Structure formats: structure tokens, C-alpha cells
Amino acid sequence: MNPPAPASSLPDLVCLSHLRWNFVFQRPQHLLTRCAAERRVFFVEEPIVDPEAQVARLERRRDGNVEVAVPRIPPDLCESDADGVQRKLLDELLEAEDVRDYVLWYYTPMARAFTDHLQPRAIVYDCMDELSAFAHAPASLRARERELLACADVVFTGGQSLYEAKRDAHPNVHPFPSSVDAAHFGAARLIDTEPPDQAQIPHPRLGFFGVIDERMDMALLRGVAERRPDWHIVLIGPIVKIDHADIPALPNLHCLGAKTYAQLPEYIASWDVAMLPFARNDATRFISPTKTPEYLAAGRPVVSTSIRDVVRPYGQLGLARIADTAEEFVAACEAAMRDDAAARIREADAFLRQTSWDGTWAQMRHLVDAAGAASRVDSAAVVRAV
């Protein structure tokens, strides 16, 4: 593989995201921290409506090599005015930082409303989820995605199922399923201390970390907890878009709140089973959970509902047990706790050696650079024709 080009010769990257940079550490953070090691990265979040704001402003901070920018806008702006404000703030940012040669990297199609005037070297759409299927999705999201697909130079998808759904919508679509930092989660295999808020929870422990939202199968959790009151379910992560009351209030179900990415190995280290208790609905139809390979890297047995991108390849390869009803889930967890841990870990490690976030970013980078080069050639041809 060729070494990265010198930073001075690489275009900047401007990312438009619906996710907060300091939210759960997931795909955007994994990819863009690697990108920021070789070029400037500006991560522009969706706006925060500030009731005390008289005028819009851009709140900026650095996280390592990534410049994070958060528009803070006054309340009561109509959609078109809010888009106009974001356009102005983004233009000012690009001017202030002398951003002239750059790639636009979209996580949210809604950002097209205030970026359609820009002239980047290349446009990338990293479609990590089917956002239109999520709760509270904007009514115009599908139309905005069509606009983005029409102008994008290259499209990535967060999993195989999403690739199959998008591959006919663009001529240059590439699947990049969730990868893993195996060394980070592999540290869990050597941890023998307990975080204080988990230490008093009895075994067996069934654990989950990630965003807790409408994708979680609460009926399944209740069914498992009630069938096995001697088991304890540990949920780690922020609760969003649902009411806390939606989570079953049972003595053996424990919500420990959000933890940092650095803390996750400390928690998973003592789980008896790592779970993916997702509901089967429109919001989960195309998901490719990042936590699947992370659980495996930590050396934990995995039990999941029949999410397509978990069934393929993890279920088919025997790296995860698949169960949908409470009875099936209990049986699968019982089997997981009886399995040959050494053999399971050997098989998981053999699979994980095929993937890494470093490798994923290297492949994406090559495709983005190729798209940018092709775009420049096309632009030059137009100029010569004129």
C-alpha cells in the first residue's frame, strides 16, 4: 500500500453530520479521527436551538485533530431561515480557515439545503443508516437524499443490506460494514477489576452497550428478565427518542447510563453474554451494529435477534447465536454460557483479522481520492469545451 500523501497535498474534509461528535463513539469518529491524522477535518453538526440566542453563532472546539463546529441558532426560525443561517455560518467558517480545496462528506442528506452552492473537489455520502426509517425523521429527508445521490461522486454504506438497498440509486456505491479496533476491545480479556456501578450486580450478566432507542426490543428484554429472574441484564448507553418509562422496571434490569468509549472494555470484561436485543422493525431493517465485532474482540459470546447484517455473516459463521422470542433468547444465552470459550475466541480472532478501522479508512480514502481526481478531470474537460 502506498504511504499517505503529504498533508499539504491533500484536500481538507468538511463533514456534515446529524450526530454529535461527543455522542457515542462510532463510525464517524472512527473514520474521521483517522482522516484527521493526514489532513484538516471540520466536523459540522446539526444546529442547536438556543432559547437565549439573539443571533446565530458557530460554537467551535477542537478534539484532537478534528475541528468541531456547532451552529447555535435562535428559536422560532422557519426551516428556510434556519437553512440560510447555517449556510452563512458555514461560509464564514470556510473563509476564516481558508478552506478552498476540500471534500464534502455527508452523513445527513438534510445538509444539502445549505451546502448546494459549494464547489468541493468531491462529494461523499457515507450512508451509515436508513435515516428516513428512524423516529422523528424529517418529512423531506427522502427528497434530500435523492438530491444528494444525484450529485455525490461516491457513496458508502454502513452494511451489506444497506448496500443492496442503495446500489441501484448511484453508479459508484461501495459497502463498508462496521469494523473494529480489536486491540481496544481485546483489552477486556485481561481486565479483572470491576467498575463500581457494575460491581454489585450479580452474575450471570447479559450486557448491551450502545444507543438505547426505538430500535431496542423492550418486550424481549422483559420476557428474558421475567423468565430468568436470577439473570441480570445490564444496559449501557444514552437513552434517546424514547421515554425512560418504556424500559421495563424490573429488579434484574440495570440501566447504567452512558459511558465513554475508553470505559467500555471495563464493563464488557465481566459480562457472561453480550447481547444485541434489537426489535425487528423499519428502523432496524438495514442496521449493521458496530458492537458485533467489538463484542467478539472482547472475547464475549454474542446473542442477537435476527438482524440481517448480524445473521450474515456472524450467525452463518457460528460467531453469534440468533434468537427472536424470549424463550429462544434464553435458550441461546444458556448455550452461549456453556460453549468452549477458547475455541470461540480462536474463531472470532480469525474473522476479526480480516477487518480493522485502519483498513476501512485506507480503502475509503483511495475511493475518495479517485473520485476527486475524476471530478477534476471532468471539470477541466468542461472548461476546455467552453
pLDDT at 5: 41
Distance between CA atoms of residues 85 and 150, nearest Å: 24
Greater confidence (133 vs 126) lies with 126
Query: H-helix or E-strand containing 236?
Result: strand 232-236
pTM of the model: 0.91
Distance between CA atoms of residues 279 and 291, nearest Å: 16
pLDDT in tens, 326-379: 999 999 999 999 999 999 999 999 999 999 999 999 999 999 999 988 765 555
Cell of 298: 472482547
pLDDT at 335: 98
Share of the chain above pLDDT 70, in %: 95
Cell of 113: 439545503
Instruction: Give yes or no for residue 1 having a pLDDT over 80.
Output: no
pLDDT at 52: 86
pLDDT in tens, 221-260: 999 999 999 999 999 999 998 999 999 999 999 999 999 9
| Residue 117 CB neighbour total at 10 angstroms | 8
Q: Is the CB of residue 212 less than 8 Å from the CB of residue 276?
A: no
Instruction: Give yes or no for residue 19 having a pLDDT over 70.
Output: yes
**How remote is the C-alpha of 107 from its chain's centroid?**
10
Q: Is the C-alpha dihedral spanning 88, 156, 121, 383 positive or negative?
A: negative
| Residue 366 CB neighbour total at 10 angstroms | 12
Instruction: Give yes or no for residue 2 having a pLDDT over 80.
Output: no
Rounded to an integer, the average pLDDT of 113-137 is 93
Rounded to an integer, the average pLDDT of 299-319 is 97
pLDDT at 327: 98
Eight-state DSSP code of residue 187: G
325 phi, psi to nearest 5 deg: -90, 165
Rounded to an integer, the average pLDDT of 47-72 is 94
Domains and CATH numbers, the chain: 7-178+357-385 (3.40.50.2000), 182-352 (3.40.50.2000)
Rounded to an integer, the average pLDDT of 192-215 is 96
Name the band, by pLDDT with cuts 50, 70 and 90, for residue 61.
very high
pLDDT at 379: 52
Helix, strand and coil content of the chain, in percent to the nearest 5, comes to 45, 20, 40
> For every residue of 266-324, which 3-state class applies, written as one string?
HHHCCCCEEEECECCCHHHCCCCCCHHHHHHHCCCCEEECCCHHHHHHHHCCCCCEECC
